[in-house]
Amino acid sequence: MPDYLVKQNITRSHAFGQSKNWLPYDRLSIAVSYRQSAGEDYKLLTVNGIPANEDQNYNMKLGGTISTGDFATLGSGHVTLGDAQGAGTFLYTSASGTSTNDFDAAAGGAIFNLAAANGSFPLFAPWLGACNFPPHRDCFECRRRGPMRRPGLLVFGFLALSASIVPAMAQSGRAQDSMRFRVGWFAPTGTSEFWTANEATFSMDHSDFDDWMFGASYVTSVGNHFEFGFNADYYDSTVRSEYRDFVDQNNNPILHDSTLKLLPLTIDLRLLPGGRYKETGEYGNRNVRKPVVWLGVGGGGNLWRYEEQGDFVGGVVPTVISDRITDDGFVPEVHAMIGFELPAGPNFAWTAEARYSWSEAELGGRFDDVYGPNTKVDLSGGSLFAGLSYQF
C-alpha cells in the first residue's frame, strides 16, 4: 500500500433515547497518514473549526476501536487510495451497523471528505439496537404496541345515543339522585413512543407513574335500570429519574423530575342489569337490592399537563443544563366501567368500581426539540376505586 496523507472531515450528530431527533454534536478535521515504515497515524486538527489545543487529541474525541493494517475499497473496479484518479466506496462498520460513503480520489496528496450516508454517527447512543443505524422510522415503530384509535367518534356516538334514549327511559320510573366520592389507584398503560423513548433514555418505567386518583360523581337515575353519571377525577404523579448512559463531571447521576397531571371530565351511561330495586307484596313495595351492580360506558374530555424539571444533557457539545419544560391540552376520552353499590343505610352506600379509559395527547412546544415533532403520549390506563355514595 503506498504512503498517503489525507484530511478527513467528520460531522457527528446525536439523539437521546428513541426520539429520532438528531441534533448536531460536533465537526472534526483529522489528518490521516500512512507510511510503510511507521504505519497509520491520526492527528486531530480542528474541533468545530477551532484548532485543537494540547488537551485535545484523536483518541479523546473519537475513542473506540482503531483499525490498523491494509484495507480494500469497493467500487467500480479495483480502486485504491494511491490511484492517480478514481472513485470508490468507503464502508464504515460498527457494532450498530454499516454506513456506505462515496469518495473521489485526485492525483497525489488527495483530500477525501468522508461523512456518514445519513449525516450522523451513532454517538452517545449505546442503547440503540442494530436496526437503528441508520435511524429510520420502521424499526422504531415495530417497538410500539399498535396505534391508538382516536376516541372522538366514540364520544360523539355515545352522546347521540344518550340523547335519543333519555325521553323513553324517563317514563319508566321515578328518579333518584346521589353524590358519590371515591379514591383509587390509576395505572397508565404506557404504549406510545413517548413512553418508549423515556424508558430507553432514563431510569424510569411507565409503571412508576402508578399513583392515587380521586374523583366525584353526580348520578341521576332514569328509571329502575339506567343511570347517568357526571364525573370529575384528578390524578397527579411525579417520578424522579436519571440518565441511563450519562453522568456529570463528578460521576454523579443527572436527575430530573417528570410530572403528569390528568383531570378527566366525563359523562357516562350506566346499566343496572338487576335494577336498583324490586317490587314485592300486594301493594308493590320497593326494596333496594343488595348489592346493586352496574355496567357503563362514557366519554368526555381529558385536561392534561406534563412537565419535566431538573438537569438535562444538551448543547452542540453535551453539557449539563437546568431547565423546566411543560405542555398541556384538552383531548377526548372514552371509558368503560363495572361496579357495585352496597347499601349501608337509608341514604348511604359503599361503592367499588373498575374502569379503563382511552385517551391520547400530542406533545408540542419545546418538547419538539426533545422528543421530535408530533410525539404521541398515551394517557390511557386502568383504575380501581372505592367510595361512598349519598342518595337524596
Which positions ≥6 away from 244 have C-beta within 8 Å? 127, 200, 201, 202, 203
pLDDT digits (tens, 9 = 90+) for 264-301: 999 999 999 988 877 665 555 666 667 899 999 999 99
Pull the grid cell for residue 223.
328509571
List the one residue out of 322, 352, 358, 326 whose CA is nearest residue 340: 352
DSSP assignment of 126-141 equals TT--GGGSS--HHHHH
CA 119 from chain centre, in angstroms, equals: 25
End-to-end CA distance of the chain: 95
pLDDT digits (tens, 9 = 90+) for 226-242: 999 999 999 999 999 99
- The model's pTM is 0.59
* Percent above pLDDT 90 for the chain: 40
User: Exposed, middle or buried by CB within 10 Å (0-12, 13-18, 19+), for 266?
Assistant: buried
List the one residue out of 98, 222, 181 whose CA is nearest residue 353: 181
Pull the grid cell for residue 275.
335494577
List the one residue out of 219, 307, 298 whose CA is nearest residue 259: 307
Q: Kindly tell me the number of DSSP H helices and DSSP E strands found in the chain.
A: 5, 18
Place of cell 383531548: 331
Domains in the chain, please, with CATH?
A: 4-141 (no CATH), 152-391 (2.40.160.20)
List the one residue out of 71, 48, 47 whose CA is nearest residue 58: 47
Dist CA 288 CA 367 (whole Å):
53
Tell me the mean pLDDT in the region 240-263.
Answer: 93
Q: If you average pLDDT over each of 4-8, 67-71, 233-237, which comes out highest? A: 233-237
List the one residue out of 373, 374, 382, 371 whose CA is nearest residue 196: 371
Least confident of 25-34, 100-109, 265-274: 100-109
Alpha helices in the chain (DSSP H): 58-62, 137-141, 152-170, 193-201, 368-371
Dist CA 318 CA 315 (whole Å):
5
pLDDT at 324 over 50: yes
Tell me the mean pLDDT in the region 104-124.
Answer: 33
Q: Answer for the pair 337, 297: CB distance below 8 angstroms, yes or no.
A: yes
Q: Where are the beta strands (DSSP E) in 16-132?
A: 23-35, 39-47, 50-51, 86-94, 97-105
